[in-house]
Each structure stands twice: as structure tokens, then as C-alpha cells.
Structure 1
């Protein structure tokens, strides 16, 4: 169980003053608390900063690719379990990627997360019912390595939602109640006489 730290307590723990170092590379301004310019040169710091994009990609993998952007549970306990299962599945896929990359020159961040999920889903029956699980596992790891992500340096993406809203209204009642109302309307409409056009 983790303790929640109130924001004002966190803010109070910060120092009154902080010295920062500012530098510019290719028109981009960076600010850091690392003061030693010999130990932390600006090119290395800028490269580390650009690696933050992988954090965004990992959040996207969890929320969008694994459909965690909409939790279906209704109670807090079930929401916790649903999140835990998502993280369990995420860690399983990341472990498979790391295992596949272990004896190669490829880094795990160079392997497509979505591609590995699709591969894993297609291999589940083979892994479950194969007489030689080790061979099936080796084939899966070999296939994972082939799922390469393109090199996209300096990638910038807009913070906007592309998913279009559905054309249908939201279901705000229970499905049974909604079905009963539809059936009632259909019976009412079927009892009406159709007037023939002259």
C-alpha cells in the first residue's frame, strides 16, 4: 500500500532556490539542474532528453494498443485488478521482447510492441498445444526479432485525439430496459394501419 503525499507537502519539501543550467542546441533550449558541464555535456543531455519520447510510446502501448484507455470495471477493487492485469500483460510482452533481443544486436525499443502482441496472439494456440514448447518458444522469439520499428529520430506528434466519436447515442440505461422499450415501440408501430397512397 502506498502513502499519498499531498501536493502542498511535496511543494514544501522543495528548496527555496534552485540553480539551473541553460544551453541551446540546434535552436532548442534545454534547462537542467546538472551543473558540471564536463561530467554532463550538453549533447549527451540533449540526447537523453530526446529519449523521453519512448515514455510517450510506452504509455500509448498501454492505453491505446492494449485498450486501457477505457476501463470497463465499475468498482474500485475491480478497477485495481483490471489495471494490474493490463500491467501483467504489458510486462509479459516486454519480457518476450527483451528475451528475443538478448543474443542479438537489436535493442528492445527497436521492436514493434503492437507487432509482438499480434504475433503472440497468433502463437498462443501453438504454444498451448505444441508437443515441443521449447521449439515453439524459439520460433516465437525468432519472429519477434523481425518486427522492427523504423528509426524515427526527432519525432514530434500532436497531442490530439484521432479516434472519431460513434454515430450512435450512448447507452445510459440497462440493456434489458432498452430492449424492452424497443420491443414496445415495434409493437406499437406494427398495430398502426398503413394508409395506401391514392
Structure 2
């Protein structure tokens, strides 16, 4: 293994031949890895793929694969809108906001379903190009969830069994965070 110090960070790699993988090449590779992580975040969070909608284990494999493909298609369509917007604005595509592009596309589809002229598309590209995401080196964000989950227990048994238990025993008392017993 090889350790390479780059800008206050230490990268550990199995690419131990400096002639084949220079420091600058490793730095570029690390940056591209960061873009991949951002893209995965866009697919999961911005496009709403954090939880899948399949309801039974039998559906899980087939539905999960279909949902994954639909989200990847949606991601690529938004990126396809960003590229001509970036060309029009004479900037790199990565400098335009993915979320803004998605929101512009959604509003544009709601407003103009019947007419898609070249002028309409140019206006859409101009709108997408308005919101930029600047490079923010050294940015630190807390790894925490801002919204707290609901204080309800997880459903750990089949729904029909849980209903039968409630019919027989009633709902359990509510657990409040301030009066939990140890």
C-alpha cells in the first residue's frame, strides 16, 4: 500500500507505482470519486429513492430493480437537460444545480405540456443555468439528520398479526421522550 499526502489529506492506495499513478492523478481520481458520491446522493435524496415502495418480499427483488432503473433514467434525463444549459451559459455542467434543474423541469412540464417549441426549450435551458453551485473546498457538514423520526416503534411483524394483537390487548401506551422509563 502507498500513502500519499495531498492538501492536508492522506490517501491510502494500492496503486503503489508513482510512475503509473502520480500524485496529481490520484488527486483527480479522488475528486471524481467525490462527484460519484454526490451523484448517488442526488439519486437517493433529490429523486426520492431513499426508500423503495415494494410491499412484500416476493415483490422486493423485481420492484427494487425496476425502481432503480427508473431513478437512474430520471437522473440521466435531468443531466441531459443540464448539458445544453451549461453550453448556453458557457459553464461546466457540474457547476449547475441538479435540484434546481429538476425543479425547473417539473414546473415546465406542468405549465407547458402541449407545446415544446425550440424557444420554449431555450427558455428552459436559461432557467436551469441561473442556479450555480460553486466549488466549496474544505466544506464541512455535520453527519446528522435534521428532522427526528416519529417516536413510534417499527412494525416488526406482519400487519395482520399486529392488528390481531391490538384487538386483543389494545394499543400500548404512548412513549414520550420525557417520560421514558429506564
User: TM-score, with normalisation over the residues of structure 2?
Assistant: 0.71
1:30 corresponding residue in structure 2: 11
Give me the whole-angstrom Cα distance separating, in 1, the residues matched to 2:3 and 2:21.
12
Cα pair 2:88 2:125 within 8 Å, conserved: no
Q: After the TM superposition, which parts of structure 1 deviate over 6 Å for at least 4 consecutive aligned residues?
A: none
The change in CA–CA distance for 1:80 and 1:28 in structure 2 (over 3 A counts) is closer
- 1:142 is displaced (CA, Å) by 0.9
Q: Is the 8 A contact 1:126 1:136 kept in 2?
A: no
Separation in structure 2 between the aligned mates of residue 92 and residue 53 of structure 1, nearest angstrom:
21
Show structure 2 runs of 5+ residues with no match: 171-182
Shift of 1:167: 4.0
Pick from 107, 119, 122 the counterpart of residue 92 of structure 2. 107
Partner of residue 174, structure 2: none
1:1-198 to 2 correspondence within 5 Å?
Answer: 20-32=1-13, 33=15, 35-37=17-19, 40-74=21-55, 75=59, 76-130=61-115, 133-168=117-152, 173=159
1:52–1:62 CA distance, 2 compared to 1 (3 A): same
In the TM superposition, residue 51 of structure 1 has moved relative to its aligned partner by: 3.5
| Alignment deviations for residues 28-68 of structure 1 (CA, whole Å, 9 cap, x no partner) | 2223415244x643244224313422122111111111110
Taking a change above 3 Å as real, the CA distance of residues 66 and 85 of structure 1, as seen in their structure-2 partners, is same
Unaligned runs of 5+ in 1: 1-19, 186-198
TM-score (norm 1): 0.66
CA RMSD of aligned residues (A): 2.8
Say how many residue pairs are matched: 157
User: For the structure 1 residues 27 and 139, does the alpha-carbon distance in structure 2 shift closer, same or farther, using more than 3 Å as the test?
Assistant: closer
